[in-house]
A and B are shown apart, each in its own frame.
Chain A
Amino acid sequence: MTRVYSGKKGRTPSAKALRAKGITRRSLLKGGAAVTGVAIGSGAITGFPTIWAQNIKDVTLRQFGTGTSGLNEISVKVKEELGFTLEQNVLDTDAVMQRAVTQPDSYDIADIEYFSTKKAFPTGVMQPLEVKKIKLFDKIVPIFINGKLTPTSTIAQGTAPHTVEFVEGADSVKFAKAPTEWATLVPTIYNADTLGIRPDLVGRPIKNWKDLVDPAYKGKAATLNIPGIGIMDAAMVIESLGLHKYADKGNMTKEEIDMTMGKMIEFKKAGQFRAFWKSFDESVNLMASGEVVIQSMWSPAVAAVRSKGIPCIYQPLEEGYRSWGSGLGLAKHLKGLQLDAAYEYLNWYLSGWVGGFLNRQGYYSAVLETAQKFMSEDEWGYWMEGKPAKGDIKSPQGAVMEKAGAVRDGGSFFDRMGHVVCWNSVMDEDRYMVQKWNEFVAA
């Protein structure tokens, strides 16, 4: 941070003079970076179309999304490298979908999850992206394009991102079955979720999703109270118990919903659960206080528990992971210079700096090879290749996250993302599902 800041400071006085000589902002940026000895940004940012009109600095893009990727550092960097202003607004998952659909004029860029997109895009509040304007589109991890991490992977259940990635045409709101020239989102961030455990308190190795409802952890288990995600975790448990094999966990029939929620009600009535959490902080506190020893969890929450010096493991399970992904989409009303700036921003987003930033927090970026350039060899080894850390692993903000010798829970990118069995979903029967979920909570 301080390096970046000094870079900015050193550049500012000379900026006007250089622009007067007709030097583009980009070469200026490189010059500034080199002068101040900042390695970041020097080599990797090449080959974009340049739209550096004089008035670009007056452009403001309003983006909203979840706290996961709504990071102030990104806004600061956008201002530095692209020159325009990125205003960010952080909401929770549910509120993001509501905002996208009900207040389409209140944003320019939607940072939205793929399963929300399944609901939001068909309402016509967003415009399809021209794939050919996204320079690195062909470098995007294939999960988002055809659903397969490697050519031999099986496609995971649920609202897999590639099923809502493309639409049929420039004005279409109908999802295309195969890749087209028109995309709904540029994928930006994703991860594989599993159960978090307190290794000091569970007393035995945890290997399966069914351990969440093991009577040994009666009153010490928790799951999340977000219906669309909670029911997926419930389905993982049911399958792990061998009670039912879903055709598609992400799109259950009414009977399957009845059965799944019926079982969950049984577990609840037997006193299995200590709590159902809805926000990140709740899950951290449940775990850190020892109220709960095994629960559905998100990766930064595990890191937060660990940063308090309390042991917590993001436990890989035999059945695999439940995954989620987000991307950036464009509001319908964007046009002209603002639209150009938005494309510039999307291209920049994939160009590596953000990717490195996200990867170093334990998420994954859509284009891996550009992100690698912004990570040290040790960081890349720890986060992406599942290798033991050679030195301390630090968060992008500089806090020590892991000591030397640590290995990432679940291992490498391919070990983790290669074992995704379902994605967060919107079901066709979601109206019925919510009724049943409310029944579960009321039971």
Chain B
Amino acid sequence: MPAAEIALPWRRRLVPYLQAGPLGLVLALFLVFPILTIIVVSFFDYNSSGQILPHVMLDNYHDVLWSKTTWLTYLSTFRFVVIVWVLTLFIGFWVSYFLVFHIRTNTMRIALFLLTTIPFWTSNIIRMISWIPLLGRNGMVNYLLIHLGLIDKPFEFLLFSPFSVVVAFVHLNTFLMIVPISNSMARIDKSLIEAARDANAKGWQILWNVIIPLSKTGIAIGSIFILTVVMGDFATVRLMSGGQSASVGLMMANQIALLQYPAAAANAVVLLLVMLVLVAAILRIVDIRKEL
């Protein structure tokens, strides 16, 4: 009996580890190990045949950090992040608000929710092609504006420009804001809103003092999604800017294409660090774990 009593707490302590074990193993193998490999490789040299030469050096980081291109590229990527974040947050918030507070039946809510996922259903290349008839030089928008007599010659900035990149990002990713925000909103106790109203709060006061603070978790999660998607993107920027805008992802893709793995790895490590800092900043502002 005494032996069993001693063994039991030990076993019990082991249980959570066993439960977390499989996932931990998967993460270690497919997340931690590859990232460690990338970090290690980022310090290596390489030759023009794409062979990685294992002697440690800092040249790759020097090339990344001391190049004006890197800074310009990060700047342009940040610009996209901020614009897309503001737009998706604004649109996402109000779509969520509508779905949660104005739609009465659950069936309708789910149906409308699914509608917001439609932009995800097409491939990148098809999306890019389908913007040409709309935004192109001879596209619908220009055709309409010219025929209404509003402009004399077509707007060129509509396609293959930062404008079209933002349009595509917002079109694609607003969904990533809608899901977490409406999830947070749906959990707001309606009696809180009634109480605010009883206390004579105006509409915007309810919004500012009740709904927004209680949707904070959703906003934070949505923001992290947008941040990671836009920072890490390379397809959308390339296709919608007609290849004329750089992105951090594209920079790496060009290096990988010429088998310059260590250089691309150094770039990836820098990007990872930048992202971690930004996500940490968001998490400092909103304690997601507490709010969940």
Query: Which residues from chain B contact A279 at a C-beta distance below 8 Å?
Result: 125
A276: interface (CB < 8 Å): yes
Query: Which residues from chain A contact B159 at a C-beta distance below 8 Å?
Result: 291
B48: interface (CB < 8 Å): yes
Q: How far is it, in angstroms, between the C-alpha of A33 and the C-alpha of B255 when the chains are bound?
A: 50
A311: interface (CB < 8 Å): no
**Which of B22-30, B179-187, B237-245, B283-291 contacts its partner?**
B237-245
Given contacts A278-B238, A442-B69, A98 and B259 within 8 Å (CB-CB)? yes
A431: interface (CB < 8 Å): yes
A262: interface (CB < 8 Å): no
Q: How far is it, in angstroms, between the C-alpha of A290 and the C-alpha of B138 when the chains are bound?
A: 8
Is the interface on chain B under 10, 10 to 19, 20 to 34, or 35 or more residues?
35 or more
Q: How far is it, in angstroms, between the C-alpha of A273 and the C-alpha of B138 when the chains are bound?
A: 17
Cβ-defined contact, A442 with B76, below 8 A:
yes
CB distance from B160 to the nearest CB of A (A): 5
Query: Which residues from chain A contact B250 at a C-beta distance below 8 Å?
Result: 438, 441
Q: How far is it, in angstroms, between the C-alpha of A101 and the C-alpha of B125 when the chains are bound?
A: 28
The one of A219, A228, A431 that contacts B156, using a Cβ cutoff of 8 Å: A219
**Which of A281-289, A329-337, A360-368, A375-383 contacts its partner?**
A281-289
A119: interface (CB < 8 Å): yes
Q: How far is it, in angstroms, between the C-alpha of A439 and the C-alpha of B132 when the chains are bound?
A: 27
Cβ-defined contact, A122 with B49, below 8 A:
yes
A94: interface (CB < 8 Å): yes
Cβ-defined contact, A119 with B136, below 8 A:
no
Cβ-defined contact, B244 with A441, below 8 A:
yes
Cβ-defined contact, A123 with B244, below 8 A:
no
Cβ-defined contact, A226 with B257, below 8 A:
yes
Query: Which residues from chain A contact B259 at a C-beta distance below 8 Å?
Result: 97-98, 101, 119
Cβ-defined contact, A273 with B48, below 8 A:
no
- Proximity string of chain B (62-103) to chain A, C-beta cutoff 8 Å, 1 when within and 0 when not: 010001110011001000000000000000000000000000
Given contacts A219-B156, A291-B132, A442-B69, A228 and B49 within 8 Å (CB-CB)? no
When C-beta atoms are compared, the residue in chain B nearest to A441 turns out to be B246
Cβ-defined contact, A119 with B48, below 8 A:
yes
When C-beta atoms are compared, the residue in chain B nearest to A98 turns out to be B259
Cβ-defined contact, A123 with B67, below 8 A:
no
B165: interface (CB < 8 Å): no
Query: Which residues from chain A contact B63 at a C-beta distance below 8 Å?
Result: 435
Cβ-defined contact, A273 with B137, below 8 A:
no
Q: How far is it, in angstroms, between the C-alpha of A373 and the C-alpha of B239 when the chains are bound?
A: 43
A369: interface (CB < 8 Å): no
Query: Which residues from chain B contact A285 at a C-beta distance below 8 Å?
Result: 129, 132
Q: How far is it, in angstroms, between the C-alpha of A434 and the C-alpha of B257 when the chains are bound?
A: 10
B174: interface (CB < 8 Å): no
When C-beta atoms are compared, the residue in chain B nearest to A218 turns out to be B156
Cβ-defined contact, A289 with B138, below 8 A:
yes
- Proximity string of chain A (95-119) to chain B, C-beta cutoff 8 Å, 1 when within and 0 when not: 0011001100000000000000001
B128: interface (CB < 8 Å): yes
Q: How far is it, in angstroms, between the C-alpha of A219 and the C-alpha of B245 when the chains are bound?
A: 15
Query: Which residues from chain B contact A228 at a C-beta distance below 8 Å?
Result: 258
Cβ-defined contact, B137 with A119, below 8 A:
no
Cβ-defined contact, B67 with A435, below 8 A:
yes
- Proximity string of chain B (238-282) to chain A, C-beta cutoff 8 Å, 1 when within and 0 when not: 110011111000110011111110010000000000000000000
Cβ-defined contact, A428 with B69, below 8 A:
no
A64: interface (CB < 8 Å): no
Q: How far is it, in angstroms, between the C-alpha of A281 and the C-alpha of B238 when the chains are bound?
A: 14
Cβ-defined contact, B238 with A225, below 8 A:
yes
When C-beta atoms are compared, the residue in chain A nearest to B250 turns out to be A441
A237: interface (CB < 8 Å): no
Query: Which residues from chain A contact B244 at a C-beta distance below 8 Å?
Result: 268, 273, 275-276, 441
Question: Which of A275, A289, A441, A443 has the most chain B CB atoms closer than 10 A to its own CB?
Answer: A441
The one of B50, B243, B256 that contacts A441, using a Cβ cutoff of 8 Å: B243
CB distance from A301 to the nearest CB of B (A): 14
B51: interface (CB < 8 Å): yes
Query: Which residues from chain B contact A274 at a C-beta distance below 8 Å?
Result: 160, 242
Query: Which residues from chain B contact A437 at a C-beta distance below 8 Å?
Result: 254
Cβ-defined contact, B136 with A291, below 8 A:
yes
Question: Which of B48, B125, B132 has the most chain A CB atoms closer than 10 A to its own CB?
Answer: B48
Q: How far is it, in angstroms, between the C-alpha of A286 and the C-alpha of B136 when the chains are bound?
A: 10
Q: How far is it, in angstroms, between the C-alpha of A227 and the C-alpha of B132 when the chains are bound?
A: 25
Query: Which residues from chain B contact A434 at a C-beta distance below 8 Å?
Result: 254-255, 258, 260
A222: interface (CB < 8 Å): yes
A430: interface (CB < 8 Å): yes
- Proximity string of chain A (225-248) to chain B, C-beta cutoff 8 Å, 1 when within and 0 when not: 111100000000000000000000
Query: Which residues from chain B contact A426 at a C-beta distance below 8 Å?
Result: 48
Cβ-defined contact, B73 with A227, below 8 A:
no
CB distance from A421 to the nearest CB of B (A): 23
Query: Which residues from chain A contact B243 at a C-beta distance below 8 Å?
Result: 225, 275-278, 441
Query: Which residues from chain A contact B48 at a C-beta distance below 8 Å?
Result: 119, 426, 428, 430-431
Q: Which of A249-282 contact B (CB under 8 A)?
A: 268, 273-279, 281-282
Q: Which of A116-143 contact B (CB under 8 A)?
A: 119-120, 122-123
Query: Which residues from chain A contact B76 at a C-beta distance below 8 Å?
Result: 442
**Can you list 20 A-B contacts with CB-CB less than 8 angstroms, sorted by A residue number?**
A98-B50, A101-B259, A123-B51, A227-B258, A276-B243, A279-B125, A281-B129, A285-B132, A289-B132, A289-B136, A291-B160, A430-B48, A430-B258, A431-B48, A434-B255, A435-B67, A439-B68, A441-B243, A442-B69, A442-B251
Across the A-B interface, the 3 shortest Cβ-Cβ residue pairs? A275-B242, A276-B243, A442-B246
Q: What 6 additional pairs, Cβ within 8 angstroms, besides A94-B258, A222-B242, A439-B67?
A: A119-B50, A120-B49, A291-B137, A441-B250, A442-B245, A442-B251
